[in-house]
A = this chain, B = another copy of it.
Amino acid sequence: MSQSQAHDDVHPPMAAVQDAVARALAEDLLPLGDLTASLVPIGVRARAAFVARQEGVLAGRLCAQEALRQVDPTIRAEWAFDDGQWFPAGATLAEVGGTLRSILTAERTALNLLGHLSGIATLTRRFADAVAPARVRDTRKTTPGLRALEKAAVRAGGGVNHRASLSDGILVKDNHLGGLSITVAVQRAAERWPGRVVEVECDTIEQVREALAAGAGMVLLDNMSPDEVAVAVQEVGGRILVEVSGGVTLDTAPLYAKTGADFVSVGAITHSAPVLDIGLDLEGP
């Protein structure tokens, strides 16, 4: 896996971190608390480590840290890696110290977030490597309630964020064309929502031409073969950005990498990334 450094902004806003952790802990601890941890004597202390069972790219450090803090502010953690960094299988990601009860109570919530988000970052990195020199972009196909965290994990993996919501970007898709033409859509968007790039999903080279003529700022070539993409890229001639989408896999990605497209957007990096296997190893008192 490549070690290319992600840019600086690999962390989500803290408000999103705090909220997600609070909800996850409420799910796991209310109303009676941790029944099993209550069997452990109060005084017992422990040292433990978050250990990677697989290689990957870290994401979710702030979430895991916040889970520890919300369960017990006296837990201490030293992190050896930050979001966006690649680690080998077997790596110790963080050393943790505190009472055994508190560590056990926080364990699963911390790991669920760490594993889920690192899974996304790691799959993103694989796609980033596969589509280079094009870049991988995410989609709105995120887990409901976790978009801020998942979009940050994509950045940690070296991907680029597409629009964050229907409210912060314009993408005219085929289904919109049931109500208006590409030309009208682009013109109306420029008039009503100026200062925003208008992207148009195109299935054919004719649509690409119409989008270009209408003044679109980006085209999304959907479900085209690599050859068709190459033709479209040539048609666009560098005047606007070109994005490719539609079931691109790690196998087919390299074919699109050579087409000259700027971006390949992949829903799978957020909706189907398997968890990255990270565990908590108890090391002693």
Q: Which residues of B contact A33 (CB under 8 A)?
A: 9, 11-13, 166-167
- Decide if B23 touches A145 in the complex (CB within 8 Å): yes
Q: A148 touches which one: B30, B143, B185, B284 (CB < 8 A)? A: B30
**Max chain B C-beta neighbours (<10 A), residue from A44, A46, A178:** A178
Interface residues on A, range: 35 or more
**Max chain B C-beta neighbours (<10 A), residue from A109, A145, A163:** A145
- Is A250 an interface position by the 8 A CB rule? no
- What are 20 of the A-B contact pairs (CB < 8 Å)? A8-B38, A16-B31, A27-B147, A28-B147, A28-B165, A30-B167, A35-B170, A37-B166, A39-B192, A104-B176, A111-B141, A112-B140, A112-B141, A112-B142, A143-B143, A144-B146, A160-B192, A160-B193, A165-B168, A197-B217
Within the complex, the shortest CB–CB distance from A84 to chain B, in Å, comes to 13
Q: Which residues of B contact A109 (CB under 8 A)?
A: 144
A interface residue numbers (CB < 8 A to B): 7-9, 11-13, 15-16, 20-42, 44, 46, 48, 70, 100-101, 104-105, 107-109, 111-113, 115-116, 119, 135, 137, 140-148, 151-152, 160-176, 178-180, 184-185, 188-189, 191-197, 199, 217-218, 241, 262-263, 267-268, 271-272, 274-275, 280, 282, 284-285
